[in-house]
């Protein structure tokens, strides 16, 4: 018996466990302080009423023998695939049809699983810092090599920092699989269409596949920022796109997302035969996945109703108002802040080049605010922390007041010494 030894290479997921441990220790020592958690990546607002209505109606259908449904199509019901194609793509002039959409139980599953279609020798490129699932999924698949001081030695990192304006440089050599996530978790930054086009052109030249994660698309506010990779010319021939209802409509606990695999997307076998990625993905899903619950797909469909869209917009606006308040407060407190205009994440440079973990600890002990150290998202995250706008308004405002007072106090102290 052999196990997949690649699993033994995985780094322990210290990030959130370490945060929890440090927060717990602080809470035990300072029971009088009310902690404010700005580190979480989970939503806090309830499901929109239109979604709850659809969920309830679908549950009743399941309890009636004339409308009961058993196994559904693995790739999703047509009613949802049609709604997605129409509202998320065709309404923006993008040529994506329902049969190119594969409904799932959230973007984590497919961003993690899609790599199963690719051989172990492919070279993987990721922007850095990044959502850790892409890295770990490739470690499991044996494509990441070994972990060293500077990261995994077979992964090609494209650093995104204040110095390069969070615009990742194209790889110097040839890479086969490219992970892009825009709007980005954790930096909250976006790419312009011209920049996205550079990556698509690179992929078309090099014969690479781009895996584009647009889980935060609903947060884009700035006109001209691309909502989908298919806005770039030629992307249908080189890119897969992942979307999620989690952050759009509060589905983190309900679970629904989808993956777009265009018909033109093909890869060559070792003998040079063209294979359709969509057909391979459907085959994979039909073997290993039995579809997303009917009630959940009806709930997702309701996101596209007039009522649903209005309610979703209100929730997203609520979080983005938090982001605006935080951005303004952090900036006027003299911190360098990125993101937060087209994403619910703010990426904050630590003052005086402090490491992200020391700053996390200082912030916790001085203000009772919990953030996420940037180093947990990759080597280029050192020297930054992530704050999220998913909390409630009162907490956001209080956190910003505490932080402003603390920074003003430390400055005064510095001046007096």
Q: Contact positions toward ligand PLP, by CB under 6 A?
A: 41, 106-108, 111, 131, 181, 185, 213, 215, 244, 246, 252, 257
Closest to ligand PLP by CB, 239 or 400: 239
Minimum CB–partner distance for residue 3 and ligand PLP (Å): 26
Among 305, 296, 308, 306, smallest CA distance to 76 is for 296
- For 159, the token pair is 């650093």
Q: Round to whole Å and give the CA distance between 379 and 152.
A: 10
Among 185, 137, 138, smallest CA distance to 160 is for 185
Closest to ligand PLP by CB, 100 or 213: 213
Closest to ligand PLP by CB, 179 or 230: 179
Closest to ligand PLP by CB, 46 or 334: 46
Closest to ligand PLP by CB, 180 or 295: 180
45: alpha, beta or left, given left = phi > 0 and alpha = psi -120 to 50?
Answer: beta
Ranked by CB distance to ligand PLP, the top (closest) residue is 106
Give the residues across from 354 on adjacent strands: none
Q: Round to whole Å and give the CA distance between 316 and 162.
A: 26
Closest to ligand PLP by CB, 257 or 376: 257
Cα–chain center distance at 240:
15
Minimum CB–partner distance for residue 386 and ligand PLP (Å): 11
Q: Where are the beta strands (DSSP E) in 82-202?
A: 101-104, 124-128, 147-148, 151-152, 155-159, 177-181
Minimum CB–partner distance for residue 246 and ligand PLP (Å): 3
Minimum CB–partner distance for residue 112 and ligand PLP (Å): 9
Sequence-distant (≥ 6) Cβ neighbours of residue 400 within 8 angstroms: 325, 326, 329, 330, 333
Minimum CB–partner distance for residue 179 and ligand PLP (Å): 10
Among 144, 122, 123, smallest CA distance to 133 is for 144
Minimum CB–partner distance for residue 390 and ligand PLP (Å): 10
- For 260, the token pair is 């777009």
Closest to ligand PLP by CB, 107 or 316: 107
What is the rounded end-to-end Cα distance, in angstroms, of the chain? 66
Give the residues across from 100 on adjacent strands: none
Minimum CB–partner distance for residue 105 and ligand PLP (Å): 8
């Amino acid at each position: 018996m052999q196990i997949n030894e690649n699993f033994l290479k995985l780094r322990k997921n210290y990030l959130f466990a370490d945060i929890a441990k440090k927060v717990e220790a602080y809470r035990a020592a300072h029971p009088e302080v009310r902690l404010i958690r700005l580190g979480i990546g989970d939503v806090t607002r309830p499901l929109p009423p239109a979604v709850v209505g659809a969920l309830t109606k679908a549950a009743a259908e399941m309890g009636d023998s004339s409308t009961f449904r058993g196994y559904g199509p693995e790739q999703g019901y047509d009613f949802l695939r049609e709604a997605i194609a129409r509202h998320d793509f065709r309404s923006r002039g993008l040529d994506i049809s329902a049969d190119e959409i594969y409904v799932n139980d959230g973007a984590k599953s497919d961003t993690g699983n899609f790599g199963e279609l690719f051989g172990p020798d492919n070279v993987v490129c990721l922007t850095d810092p990044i959502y850790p699932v892409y890295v770990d999924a490739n470690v499991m698949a044996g494509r990441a090599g070994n972990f060293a001081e500077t990261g995994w030695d077979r992964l090609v990192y494209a650093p995104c920092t204040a110095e390069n304006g969070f615009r990742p440089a194209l790889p110097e050599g040839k890479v086969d699989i490219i992970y892009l996530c825009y709007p980005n978790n954790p930096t909250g930054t976006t790419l312009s269409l011209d920049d996205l086009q550079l990556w698509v052109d690179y992929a078309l030249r090099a014969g690479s596949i781009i895996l584009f994660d647009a889980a935060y698309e609903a947060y884009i506010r700035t006109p001209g920022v691309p909502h989908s990779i298919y806005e770039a010319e030629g992307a249908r021939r080189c890119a897969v796109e992942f979307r999620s209802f989690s952050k759009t409509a509060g589905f983190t606990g309900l679970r629904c997302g989808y993956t777009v695999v265009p018909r033109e997307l093909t890869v060559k076998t070792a003998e040079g035969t063209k294979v359709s990625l969509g057909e391979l993905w459907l085959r994979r899903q039909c073997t290993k996945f039995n579809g997303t619950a009917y009630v959940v797909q009806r709930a997702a469909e309701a996101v596209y109703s007039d009522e649903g869209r209005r309610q979703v917009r209100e929730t997203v606006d609520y979080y983005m108002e938090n982001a605006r308040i935080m951005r303004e407060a952090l900036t006027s407190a003299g911190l360098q802040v990125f993101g937060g205009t087209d994403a619910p994440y703010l990426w904050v440079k630590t003052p005086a080049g402090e490491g992200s973990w020391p700053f996390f600890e200082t912030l916790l002990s001085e203000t009772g605010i919990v953030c996420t150290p940037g180093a947990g998202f990759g080597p280029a995250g050192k020297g930054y922390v992530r704050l999220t706008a998913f909390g409630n308004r009162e907490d956001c405002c209080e956190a910003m007041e505490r932080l402003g007072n603390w920074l003003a106090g430390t400055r005064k102290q510095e001046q007096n010494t």
